[in-house]
Chains A and B, each alone.
Chain A
Amino acid sequence: MIIRINGSERQFTRDEWPASVAQLLDYLQIDQATVVAEIDGQIVQRKEFSNTSLAEGQSIELIRFVGGG
């Protein structure tokens, strides 16, 4: 099963397949508080990460922030 993350295809086995955006971020070891997520051009709000499931073939953009300003 394949999704596209920031332009690169990523393959998951059925067992690895993340059930939600939150699980995908856990898998990628990304802190949910520091990323803006967009699926197929639609922003997914952080509070919806756990409720938003992923589907085969989707294109996901993860915009990450580090502190300092």
Chain B
Amino acid sequence: MATLSLRNLVKTYGKVEVLHGISLDVADGEFVVFVGPSGCGKSTTLRMIAGLEEVSGGEIRIGERLVNDLEPKDRDIAMVFQNYAIYPHMSVRKNIGFGLRTAKMPKADKEKRIEEVAAILGMGDLLERRPNQLSGGQRQRVAIGRAMVRDPAVFLFDEPLSNLDAQLRTQMRLEIKKLHQRVGNTIIFVTHDQVEAMTMADRIVIMKDGYIQQVGTPLEVYHKPANTFVAQFIGAPSMNMLPGTWTGGGVRLADGLGIELPRRNATEGAEVVLGLRPDDLLVTDRKGLFSGTVNIVEPLGADTLVYVGVNGHEVIAKASGREPPQPGQTVELTADAGEMHLFDAASGEALP
């Protein structure tokens, strides 16, 4: 186990800079998830940590060691790939043990270690099988086993669940989390799926266009998003964004509706964006903050998502799952002022 430190990490391809000096400290045994849309630089960062991409600028330290110029094999890391990358011409036993072939330990100890790992992953009876005789989930377990067997300082996961179906993905998510609780190694996990990030991470690193947008625990990034990008990226469905003007005691929306808010760090008359999560914007029988006409209804079972047209904007709100409103119906929407988010319209930064 070890800490991981990134300092002003830069990556350029020719003249194009794709990673613009990111810095991050990961604690020993921490589970950190990098999340962001395609092209945000999360996989590039992971590959630089692994040593598969050269570092154009800045420092990477694993423990106290500067690893910028070390070969991947000398960094004490193990990586699980999106496509599993288990060798099809080798049995599960050989695949898992492959990382140990250069380890200076007796053969019997290697075999014992392979069987221990296989037992942890529930693959003890599949050791003699070839990858083409395994299901997708089993292949992913073999890939994790190959990483585990070396007991590396840092585990790197590059979108390992992307190729699994929804049910298996949920199951593997749980297994990886259990595995982390059991072995306690430092884990860097890359995904574009914010649900994976929220459910697995100790801390989430949200990236966009080669910059870190926010680092925080899942609840921090959900409840206190640093900017409009984070606010809309985390949470499904996305946060509703309503443009308006800060009046000193609240927001006057573009359609003239006024909403009172606790004092914020904004100058009167400033252009702002009011953020309301669909989970916090509820359909009510009483008089609400504003009313609108239901366009679309999406029943989810326990709840219903309701797409409501409000003075030219469409917002998503939540209604009861048992008696949902019908399309065309006029509904009242309400929200607690404490759950409302305010952002600067120009910079997108949160206004605390």
- Does chain A bind chain B? no
